[in-house]
Structure 1
Amino acid sequence: MAMELGDLRVFVAAASAGSLSAAARELRLAQPSVSERLRRLERLVGRPLLDRSNRGVSLTPAGERLLPHAQRCLDMAARALDIAREDDTQGTLHLTTHATYAPLAVPFVIGALQPLRYAVVVDDRHSPSALRRVAAGTTDIAVTLPAPHAPEVLLREFRSEQVVAVCHPRHPLAERPCDILRLSSHPLAVNLWGSGADLFHEQLLDAPSRAHQLYRISSAETAADLARSGQAVAVLTRATVDRDLADCSLVELDVIDMPEWHVDLMVAHHRERADEPAIAAVINALDHLRP
Structure 2
Amino acid sequence: MRVHRVAVLALDGVYPFELGIPSRVFGAAGERYEVATCSVDGTSVTTNSDFSITVEHGPELLRTADTVVLPPFDMSLLTREAPPGVEEALAAVRPGARIVSICTGAFVLAATGLLDGRPATTHWALADVFRSWYPQVDLDPDVLFVDDGSVLTSAGAASGMDVCLHLVRRDHGTAVANHVARSCVVPPWREGGQAQYIEHPVPEPSANGTSATRQWALENLRDPLALADLAEHARMSRRTFARRFNEEVGMSPGRWLTQQRLSRARHLLETTDLGVDDIAGMVGFATGTSLREHLHAAIGVSPLAYRRTFRGATGSRT
Instruction: State if a TM-score over 0.5 links the two structures.
Output: no
Return the TM-score normalized by structure 1: 0.29
Name the structure, 1 or 2, with higher relative contact order (CA <8 Å, separation 6+). Answer: 1
Structure whose residues are more often strand by fraction:
1
